[in-house]
């Protein structure tokens, strides 16, 4: 398989279904090496800040959201937000990832005020608001996506995280996240964002109820958009974590909606439906092969653990993602690998790569 030759959907599907994982991994590793010949693996020091957990979407794979009247519902106070940013900068952080639920009581001014208040006080990259949030904000304020994005950019938004993509297949979204924006709208937000000069990442959450075709469709949608805009800095595949989620509790019903070609036994054990490590490496490798126009692929230590993330560096990944000074959403689903910046630096070094801290745009700030 030539590195220069772009693979089509049919080939991708065949690789996903029938390839030898070690062959696929070796090809992905070769592509990674060609793209990043200096043997450097990067990471970013940042913090996830969730300004609210109130969300009207109530996605069935999510363990983080609360209703507005829940005793656990919150909106982060300004002082708490600033304190978190101060701590982040103190720890060498260059970015905050700001995401939250779709809170019905918050309007555009809440977001612009938040952005302005941050930018007034801190020199930090604000990586914020995934497409469902942008779309929600736009809809509530009666503005176009482009207008909304320009206003947010003007207020201080630097880049957009790739969350909320889940699987860009409306068949899957209808089951998993019926209230969340459709695939086309996710892509539209990203296209508009790239159009106004806001870079973003792209994610894919697999291992729930999608089929292989859905994964390939997702990769293809991302590649096609990237051909037009070039605005994606990185791709981040990660696997669904079923703990404490609606979907894991109601599994048998959901399962019956899966393709009948491979019916699986209904079971209440959440471990069983998650993607396994072999699935993860296969999808990661395939992503590296398919997304020939995206420079960076992140390993997901948050969902896979450090040892698997190390293995991922030889199956197509070249970036260790974020140190995540704070992470709340995956933790709510019962997964919590506690990891320090030192752990990340050592993990990269142990696998024979040179660790380097980067900024949002993959410029290297510091070598280790």
Partner 1 sequence: MIETIEQKIIAGERITFEEAVALFQDDDIHTLGKLATSVAEKKNGNRAYFIQNRHINPTNICVNRCRFCAFSRSKGEKGAFELSIDEISRKMELSPEGLREVHIVGGLHPDRAFGYYLSLLRMIKKHFPHIHIKAFTAVEVDYFSRISNLGLRDTLLSLKDSGLDAMTGGGAEIFAGNIRERLCPEKITGERWLEVHKTAHLCGIKTNATMLYGHFESYGDRIDHLVRLRKLQDLTGGFQAFIPLSYHPKNTDMGGRYPSGIDDLKTIAISRLVLDNFPHIKAYWVMLGEKLSQVALLFGADDIDGTVIEEKITHAAGAMTGEGLTKEQMINLIRKAGKIPVERDAFYKAVTVYGCRNENR
> Which residues contact partner 1 (rule: CB under 8 A)?
16-18, 20-23, 25-26, 29, 212, 262, 264, 267, 269, 271-272, 275-282, 304-311, 313-314, 337, 346-347, 350-352
CA separation for the pair 114, 109 (Å, rounded) = 8
**Distance separating alpha carbons of residues 286 and 284, to the nearest angstrom:** 5
Q: Which residues fall within 8 angstroms of residue 302, CB to CB, at 6 or more apart?
A: 238, 321, 324, 327, 330, 335, 337
CB of 354 to partner 1, least distance (A): 14
Task: Name the residue nearer to partner 1 (CB basis): 212 or 251.
Answer: 212
Least spacing, CB of residue 266 vs partner 1, in Å: 12
Nearer to partner 1, 130 or 318 (CB): 318
- Phi/psi at 82 (5° precision): -65, -40
Q: Which is nearer to partner 1, 144 or 276 (CB)?
A: 276
Q: Which residue has the tokens 């913090």?
A: 47
Closer Cβ to partner 1, 142 or 265, answer by number: 265
Spell out the residues 6+ positions from residue 146 whose beta carbon is closer than 8 angstroms to its own.
Answer: 192, 195, 196
Task: Write down the least CB distance from residue 182 to partner 1, Å.
Answer: 24
Give the nearest distance from C-beta 350 to partner 1 in angstroms. 4
Nearer to partner 1, 42 or 57 (CB): 42
Burial 113-131 (b: 16+ CB within 10 A, else e): ebbeebeeebebbbbbbbb
Nearer to partner 1, 127 or 314 (CB): 314
Nearer to partner 1, 16 or 150 (CB): 16
- Which ranges of the chain would DSSP assign to H, the alpha helix? 9-18, 21-35, 78-90, 108-121, 131-141, 145-155, 170-176, 183-195, 212-229, 246-249, 251-256, 270-273, 277-290, 301-304, 306-312, 329-332, 341-350
Closest by alpha carbon to 209, among 61, 62, 65, 13? 61
Judge contact between 64 and 50, C-beta under 8 A: yes
Beta carbon of residue 223, minimum distance to partner 1 (angstroms, whole number): 20
We find the least distance from the C-beta atom of residue 347 to partner 1, in angstroms, to be 7
Give the shortest CB-271-to-partner 1 separation in angstroms. 5
């Amino acid at each position: 398989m030539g590195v220069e030759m772009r693979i089509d959907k049919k080939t991708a599907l065949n690789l996903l279904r029938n390839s030898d994982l070690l062959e696929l991994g070796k090809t992905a590793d070769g592509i990674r090496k060609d793209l990043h010949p200096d043997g450097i693996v990067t990471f970013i020091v940042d913090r996830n800040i969730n300004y609210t957990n109130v969300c009207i979407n109530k996605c069935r794979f999510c363990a983080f959201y609360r209703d507005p009247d829940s005793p656990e519902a919150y909106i982060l106070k300004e002082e708490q937000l600033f304190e978190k940013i101060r701590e982040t900068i103190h720890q060498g952080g260059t970015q905050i990832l700001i995401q939250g639920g779709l809170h019905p009581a918050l309007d555009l001014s809440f977001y612009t005020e938040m952005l302005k208040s941050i930018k007034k006080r801190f020199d930090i990259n604000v990586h914020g608001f995934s497409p469902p949030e942008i779309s929600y904000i736009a809809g509530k304020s009666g503005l176009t996506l482009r207008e909304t994005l320009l206003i947010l950019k003007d207020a201080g938004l630097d880049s957009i995280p790739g969350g909320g993509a889940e699987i860009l297949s409306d068949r899957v979204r209808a089951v998993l996240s019926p209230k969340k924006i459709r695939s086309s709208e996710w892509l539209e937000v990203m296209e508009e964002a790239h159009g106004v000069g806001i870079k973003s990442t792209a994610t894919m959450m697999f291992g729930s109820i999608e089929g292989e075709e859905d994964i390939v469709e997702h990769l293809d949608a991302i590649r096609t958009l990237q051909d037009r805009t070039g605005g994606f800095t990185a791709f981040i595949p990660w696997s669904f974590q079923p703990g404490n989620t609606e979907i894991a509790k109601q599994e048998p019903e959901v399962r019956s909606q899966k393709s009948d070609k491979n019916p699986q036994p209904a079971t209440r054990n959440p471990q069983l439906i998650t993607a396994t490590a072999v699935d993860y490496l296969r999808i990661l490798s395939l992503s590296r092969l398919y997304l020939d126009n995206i420079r960076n692929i992140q390993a997901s230590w948050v969902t896979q653990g450090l040892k698997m993330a190390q293995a991922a560096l030889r199956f197509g990944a070249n970036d260790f993602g974020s140190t995540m000074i704070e992470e709340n959403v995956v933790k709510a689903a019962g997964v919590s690998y506690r990891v320090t910046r030192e752990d990340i630096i050592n993990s990269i070094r142990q696998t024979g790569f040179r660790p380097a801290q980067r900024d949002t745009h993959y410029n290297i700030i510091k070598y280790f």
